[in-house]
Structure 1
């Protein structure tokens, strides 16, 4: 069976072994199916709800449907290690490495920050994504551990009540100004605001290190804004001209907001990781 592929199995009787059904359908060994389940590529539809199925001992009911989404490339990927910056019980703050996903897909979630948090926090907790970082970007990301906390933190982002700072290396000598350099070019028909200050300039490399504050969170906002004014981010293969082997040089370096739990101001820096 070629990869990628998917299969969908209707359950017609009470069944204690979803692994057996999947083995019969795919020809995979029980060990392989269990690995695929743990990596988040098996789903169960029960009534109106569909969610990942990881428990090999799950009892299935008539009318259930099993789904397997198999992509060998996804299954063979190994996640890089994320660093825990702070465990606040209701949420945690992580330093996400470049290459790690913010969230998984139907093809698996073992390389996502949410799954990493679920597997590496003590005590173990469910993880909910609050905001996103591009896969190629690194830096600070929040993960909530209850639906209520996820909603409260997401509301802070929606209200632009979270200060987000990024360190970005760009090609060229970025101008210095008494005040922040403002880019307010709309993206995809929506308002987008970035404020930029140059931290350093390397004349030999011809590159500038920038501090960027964004007031909105549009897709690839920093990369698109900087490329539009002639200062593409180093390693940006999508909007710039990345040199071979260079990774995207964009890091979420600072988060600050008023805690929805304590009412205290919280400040997190990637330097603390």
Structure 2
């Protein structure tokens, strides 16, 4: 365990604490600092501050870095579709039905278990349960995600998520025929207090912005492309349901009566683009829709003809 203590100078008065510490610890991102605050690893005058706390002259800041825990999640020989890999990142096309990382009661069969078998070295920033995981997609959502193999790569990728420069495009099939060809949904999201499994539109929640574009209309359904400006849990699913066009097959936010027998929502993370953390070059990966998704679209197209 490593402790660092700082006394704030007059010249730094009014600076946000996460920005201030990210400039001191140059190998740590602001998102990492914010995570450390949430874990009570940072104290100001012996109290845990908020990430947006404005410093005062003579504030005493104590920063504690814990030793990385030994990873207890087991490596498993599970086939995964790797689109790209080098010393810094792994880009994976996750299949529908695969959980991204272990959680209490579900420590096996996840993408993390498969990655640990495949590459051994993953960043430690998210702890023993989520090594290397920069961003997630739901169990029943398929598609592209990038995994960090070291802490420096993780920090740089996290910063791109935070400043919205990482490109994330999803294809979704929604119930009903959308009239507008394009739209923006800007509604705050937070955990539903009555049902902890659900996310809801909550005043005072975290800002969430989804851009959508109609790709194709069918009898009673619409194929859309969604571009995420933010990346909140269940964002596309909740946003589309909030305007009356829930995703087909969605067990939480969708219609109770479903025409197609599905394992979950018809949602695919089709394109992912980011600046490589060490090469500093823009990279983009695009995947085909999974077979079940294509079959539904083809069936709907045949009904229109």
> Deviations for 1:145-173, whole angstroms, at most 9, x for unmatched residues?
11221121111111211011000001111
Matches within 5 A, 1:1-273: 50-53=69-72, 81-121=79-119, 124-126=120-122, 128-177=132-181, 180-188=182-190, 189-203=205-219, 206-241=220-255, 243=258, 245-246=261-262, 247-271=264-288
**Conservation of the 8 A alpha-carbon contact between 2:78 and 2:114:** no
Structure 1 residue 185: Cα displacement: 1.6
* Total equivalences in the alignment: 199
Q: Which moved more, 1:216-225 or 1:112-121?
A: 112-121
Q: Which moved more, 1:180-189 or 1:164-173?
A: 180-189
**Conservation of the 8 A alpha-carbon contact between 2:174 and 2:223:** yes
Unaligned runs of 5+ in 2: 1-65, 123-130, 191-204, 291-305
Q: Structure 1 pair 54/250, CA: closer, same or farther in 2 (3 Å)?
A: closer
Unaligned runs of 5+ in 1: 1-46, 56-77
**Conservation of the 8 A alpha-carbon contact between 1:79 and 1:111:** no
Structure 1 residue 231: Cα displacement: 0.5
Computed over aligned residues only, the root mean square deviation of the Cα atoms, in angstroms, reads 2.6
Structure 1 residue 81: Cα displacement: 4.0
Distance, in Å, in 2 between the alignment partners of 1:259 and 1:80 is: 26
> Deviations for 1:100-135, whole angstroms, at most 9, x for unmatched residues?
1111124454322122122234xx433511111111
Structure 1 residue 272: Cα displacement: 10
Structure 1 residue 245: Cα displacement: 3.2
**Conservation of the 8 A alpha-carbon contact between 1:110 and 1:116:** no
**Conservation of the 8 A alpha-carbon contact between 1:79 and 1:100:** no
Distance, in Å, in 2 between the alignment partners of 1:95 and 1:134 is: 13
**TM-score, reference length from structure 1:** 0.66
Distance, in Å, in 2 between the alignment partners of 1:105 and 1:54 is: 10
Q: Structure 1 pair 79/228, CA: closer, same or farther in 2 (3 Å)?
A: farther
